[in-house]
Structure 1
């Protein structure tokens, strides 16, 4: 019984994480191999909305390019020696935007000067949308926070029994 209960708790937590936090995957530049010198990253970023929890996908040729998270000064001056984090792994790399703040990325190896740099402003997760008003009295929509509370109540009752 103990293993089943922990499995139930695990599944419940995963469901709550999926339901409560909506995140998006942004393909940087818009294409499969989009981290290259042919993309206007400022224009691309201006047409996107980034929220904490979202992911950036970088597709690129790893023998030619890199992805470095840098501070604003290094971004503006294309300095690739004092980076915060090297995202470069295999050419199809992801980075999660964990905090609402500005993020700066550049390509090393001299490509930043050719325009391979990205600055984005990450916003806090918006509150859950208001529940829809039912048009029929045959059913009732449960707000997301009420659904969460119902699941947690079920899990805690299962723990007690």
Structure 2
């Protein structure tokens, strides 16, 4: 009877180990699914927009750049400043300090190493400049950020092929379906 009892306990441990492995497998699949979905959602959360055609440099007219590039900035976009961090920096300032090139009492120093990003979180005008006198050499920019309006619906396709919008929706849904299917197996 003792031998039978030990055997039953051993089988129970094996069964528990199998259940634990199955649980771990389910958790790993679930985490992978969540990660892919988050990447798909995150990629639609705003564009990265480089400031200036040649980066954040002196003797450059950023107002002209904004006009000629017809750049438009929307809430959740990322402003991307590229510059030589040995000489320049990027400070967010208020309108008065922007107009007078005053770097004292700045709102935020976004300088991190010459390849810096700043996410615009609300519709308003953001003011940036570089200190050390470089503002007087043109290193300042005022970025007007707008709420993104919903795009009008695309016209129906005449030849029956799916629109590009349809393809943009179908691919993520297909990936999601495959992940869910693998999760259920």
**TM tier, smaller:** 0.7 to 0.9
In the alignment, structure 2 segments of 5+ residues that lack a partner are 1-25
Please state which structure has a larger fraction of its residues in helix: 2
1:16 correspondence with 2:41: yes
CA contact (8 A) 2:33 2:176 kept: no
* Structure 1 residue runs without a partner (length 5+): none
Q: For the Cα contact (< 8 Å) 1:50–1:121, is it kept in 2? A: yes
For 2:123, the equivalent position in structure 1 comes to 100
Rg (Cα) greater in structure: 2
1:70 aligns with 2:93: yes
Deviations 1:26-82 (A, max 9, x none): 221102xx3222210111123311112222222222222111011111111211111
Structure 1 residue 148 displacement after superposition:
8.4
Quote the RMSD (CA, aligned, Å).
3.3
- What is the TM-score when the length of structure 1 is the normalising length? 0.76
Which stretches of structure 1, 4 residues or more, deviate above 4 A after TM superposition? Answer: 137-156
Superposition deviation, residue 155 in structure 1? 9.2
Greater alpha carbon shift after TM alignment, 1-10 vs 129-138: 129-138
Alpha-carbon distance in structure 1 between the residues aligned to 2:138 and 2:91: 14
TM-score of the aligned structures, taking structure 2 as reference length: 0.67
Residue 6 of structure 1: aligned partner: 31
